């Protein structure tokens, strides 16, 4: 199995791919989320592993948009614990730092820490591990990176401060994407994207289906669709055991209560967190 | 009235403050979201204007967190249309660009455009208008900014590409914050932050209150609270006319169905978009 991820060795995305597929998987690195979808479409990879939401900063809407645009299916998920560290060249002290680079999410997850150092220039790069590599390969002792301890090891950097992200329990949820759905009796989680009719109580009536069937909601999020006069796009995940639940019937009923509905995937819920 | 906002002249935050309070307001600029809250707490300003969500990139959870931490109230809101432009020094051509800077949200809103130029280094700075100022004050002709047309005018830059953000209807919702609630009979929108008991159907039962009272939901979002074994924090807005609705009774009923509840504000819903 060839698996595309967006990033470089040492990134959380690589950790997610290795966590899901095991150490023997053949990995394909891409330069953007969109390129990971392209890799699956043009056959360079059979699967793509991409981040869908982070417990501190919320949904990564660019990936939701791409799943919709490419018509791909979520076929699995992997949770990765995010432990951001401040990485520097060996021996560099805190006082020497003038600039810190990381992925945009790495910077925003570490806002509280960075706000204590308002004179540091913050530079968003492509990827947390790419930031670590920049520090490692450059000559500027004033440049620090926010990245994983794994990146510190790979790029021979010192961990000057551990856990600079504000939420100690910070996790990122990665999804495994394929061009076709993957049917498996162990699938027990469904992700939906839908719009609702403009009627009072329409969300309440929809959730009535899940309440009646005793299906637990795992996520719900509305996003205003401004092109369409304050209509909302909804992202909803629910727990659904394929054996016990007549899922087809439930999804037909969901379709009756929604204006547009796309089943993003039916897959197996992640049980543990890597590493 | 003195009003704090996070940014510099020409930023969308300044446009929001001017749009809400009018051109004669006394504005106080701050260097971070947290500093805008501090300005209100220590009396440098009576109000703070901060972004709470964007139609493309979703909720800005750092501001939700700060509202909770400071115990402030939302007393108003202002919608600002985001039209990001690629700004350069006068006369610079597209081929000369090597680096583009903007706020993190400006970069992520323009992903599609930037992905067409993978060789450009992307640098996240403090604020879109600060990015424009960097381009204006620096000597590097290869440096471009993603910011508003207003910033182009203020900092004497050329608009090389208009509308580089991927959603043409992109809007940011700013909220006006005060240390105390502001009671006004015209208030018609309520924002809540709550957790729910760990029971199947608990969200459905809560939404039943709003459906029964025919109160329209304007936003709902769940956010996993990982410190607490997959509990969820919810953000919910609903339309509530203070004259027609016995709001106190409804909120008491909401409190009965939630584990923790914080009323973030009762305020007047924005009707138009500035500019």
- Among A179, A208, A233, where does a domain finish? A179
Residue A6, token pair as written in the block: 């967006």
Q: State whether B50 and B74 are in the same domain.
A: yes
Res. A231 pLDDT band, cuts 50 70 90: confident
Over range A77-81, report the average pLDDT.
92
Bond into A275 cis (ω within 30): yes
Q: Inform me whether the C-beta atom of residue B94 falls under 8 Å from chain A C-beta atoms.
A: no
List B172, B210, B238, B258, catalytic entry = B172
Residue B275 lies in a domain: no
Q: State whether A6 and A76 are in the same domain.
A: yes
Is residue A275's pLDDT more than 80? no
Cα gap A39→A175, rounded to integer Å: 16
Secondary structure element (H or E) that encloses residue B159, with its range:
strand B158-161
Closest to B55 (Cα-Cα) out of B165, B172, B221, B133: B172
pLDDT the model gives residue B275: 55
Q: Inform me whether the C-beta atom of residue A159 falls under 8 Å from chain B C-beta atoms.
A: no
Of A57, A204, A226, the CB nearest to B211: A204
Residue A188: how many other CB atoms lie within 10 Å: 18
Count of CB contacts below 8 A, A vs B?
A: 121
Q: Inform me whether the C-beta atom of residue B226 falls under 8 Å from chain A C-beta atoms.
A: yes
How far does B2 lie from chain A, in Å, by closest CA?
Answer: 24
How far does A52 lie from chain B, in Å, by closest CA?
Answer: 12
Q: State whether A89 and A77 are in the same domain.
A: no
Per the prediction, chain A carries an average pLDDT of: 88
Reported as half-sphere exposure (CB side, CA atoms, 13 A), residue B207 has a value of 25
Cα gap A76→A37, rounded to integer Å: 15
Is residue B55's pLDDT more than 90? no
Is A200 close to B214, i.e. CB distance below 8 A? yes
Q: Say what the pTM is.
A: 0.79
Range of the domain at B10: 2-80+171-180
Is residue B225's pLDDT more than 70? no
Say which residue the tokens 């509305």 belong to. Answer: A222
Q: Inform me whether the C-beta atom of residue A69 falls under 8 Å from chain B C-beta atoms.
A: no
Highest mean pLDDT pick, B51-55, B102-106, B204-208: B204-208
Reported as a single tens digit per residue, the pLDDT across A148-182 is 988 999 999 999 999 898 666 678 899 999 999 99
Per the CB < 8 A criterion, the answer to whether B102 and B128 are in contact is yes
Secondary structure element (H or E) that encloses residue B66, with its range:
helix B61-70
Of B59, B200, B225, the CB nearest to A58: B59
How many domains does chain B fold into?
3
| CATH number for position B27 | 3.40.190.10
Q: State whether B222 and B95 are in the same domain.
A: no
Which region among B38-47, B72-81, B226-235 has the lowest average model confidence (pLDDT)? B226-235
Closest to B161 (Cα-Cα) out of B151, B143, B149, B170: B149
Residue A44, token pair as written in the block: 């360079």
How far does A24 lie from chain B, in Å, by closest CA?
Answer: 30
| CATH number for position B195 | 3.30.70.260
Q: State whether A40 and A94 are in the same domain.
A: no
Q: State whether B154 and B208 are in the same domain.
A: no
pLDDT the model gives residue B86: 97
Say which residue the tokens 């105390």 belong to. Answer: B180
Residue A200 lies in a domain: yes
Secondary structure element (H or E) that encloses residue B92, with its range:
none
Q: What percent of chain A has pLDDT over 90?
A: 55
Residue B26 lies in a domain: yes
Cα gap B156→B135, rounded to integer Å: 10
Residue A24: how many other CB atoms lie within 10 Å: 7
Q: State whether B116 and B236 are in the same domain.
A: no
pLDDT the model gives residue B223: 80
Cα gap A89→B172, rounded to integer Å: 39
How far does B218 lie from chain A, in Å, by closest CA?
Answer: 9
DSSP per position, B38-51: HHHHTTS-SEEEEE
| Mutation site for A-interface testing, chosen from B119, B226, B272 by largest number of A Cβ within 10 Å | B226
| Mutation site for A-interface testing, chosen from B53, B200, B219, B241 by largest number of A Cβ within 10 Å | B200
Residue B166 lies in a domain: no
Q: Inform me whether the C-beta atom of residue B171 falls under 8 Å from chain A C-beta atoms.
A: yes
pLDDT the model gives residue A8: 80
Reported as a single tens digit per residue, the pLDDT across B151-175 is 999 999 999 999 898 666 678 899 9
Is B124 close to A126, i.e. CB distance below 8 A? no
Is A57 close to B56, i.e. CB distance below 8 A? no
Secondary structure element (H or E) that encloses residue B161, with its range:
strand B158-161
Residue A101 lies in a domain: yes
Per the CB < 8 A criterion, the answer to whether A195 and A250 are in contact is no
Residues of A acting as catalytic residues? 172, 174
Q: State whether A216 and A107 are in the same domain.
A: no
Q: State whether B133 and B264 are in the same domain.
A: no
Of A58, A121, A223, the CB nearest to B61: A58
HEC per residue, chain A: CEEEEECCCCCHHHHHHHHHHCCCCEEEEECCHHHHHHHHHCCCCCEEEEEEEECCCEECHHHHHHHHHHCCEEEEEEEEECCCEEEECCCCCHHHCCEEEECHHHHHHCHHHHHCCCCCEEEECCCHHHHHHHHHHCCCCCEEEEECHHHHHHCCCEEEECCCCCCCCCEEEEEEEECCCCCCCCCCEEEEEEECCCCCCHHHHHHHHHHHCCCCEEEEEEEEEHHHCCEEEEEEEEECCCCCCCHHHHHHHHHHHCCEEEEEEEECCCCCEEC
Per the CB < 8 A criterion, the answer to whether B173 and B51 are in contact is yes
* B chain contacts of residue A233, beta-carbon cutoff 8 Å: none
- Residue B196 is given by DSSP the state -
B113 three-state secondary structure: helix
What residues 235-274 of chain A have any CB closer than 8 A to a CB of chain B? none
Residue of A nearest to B108 (CA): A62
């Amino acid at each position: 199995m060839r698996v595309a991820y967006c990033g470089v060795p040492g990134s959380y995305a690589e950790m997610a791919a290795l966590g899901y597929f095991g150490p023997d998987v053949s990995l394909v690195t891409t330069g953007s989320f969109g390129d990971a979808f392209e890799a699956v479409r043009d056959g360079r990879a059979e699967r793509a592993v991409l981040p869908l939401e982070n417990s501190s900063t919320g949904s990564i809407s660019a990936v939701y948009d791409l799943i919709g645009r490419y018509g791909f299916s979520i076929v699995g998920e992997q949770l990765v614990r995010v432990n951001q560290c401040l990485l520097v060249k060996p021996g560099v002290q805190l006082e020497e730092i003038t600039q810190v680079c990381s992925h945009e999410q790495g910077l925003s997850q570490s806002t509280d820490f960075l706000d204590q150092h308002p004179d540091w220039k913050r530079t968003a790069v492509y990827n947390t591990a790419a930031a670590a590599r920049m520090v490692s390969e450059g000559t500027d002792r004033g440049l620090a990176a926010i990245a994983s301890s794994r990146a510190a090891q790979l790029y021979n950097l010192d961990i000057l401060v551990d856990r600079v992200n504000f939420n100690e329990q910070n996790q990122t949820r990665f999804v495994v994407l394929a061009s076709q759905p993957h049917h498996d009796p162990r699938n027990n989680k469904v992700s939906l994207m839908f719009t609702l009719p403009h009627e009072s109580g329409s969300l309440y009536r929809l959730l009535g289906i899940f309440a009646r069937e005793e299906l637990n909601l795992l996520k719900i999020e509305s996003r205003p669709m401004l092109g369409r006069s304050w209509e909302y796009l909804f992202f909803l995940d629910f727990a659904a055991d394929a054996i016990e639940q007549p899922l087809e019937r439930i999804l037909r009923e969901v379709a009756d209560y929604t204006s547009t509905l796309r089943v993003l995937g039916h897959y197996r819920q992640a049980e543990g967190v890597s590493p």
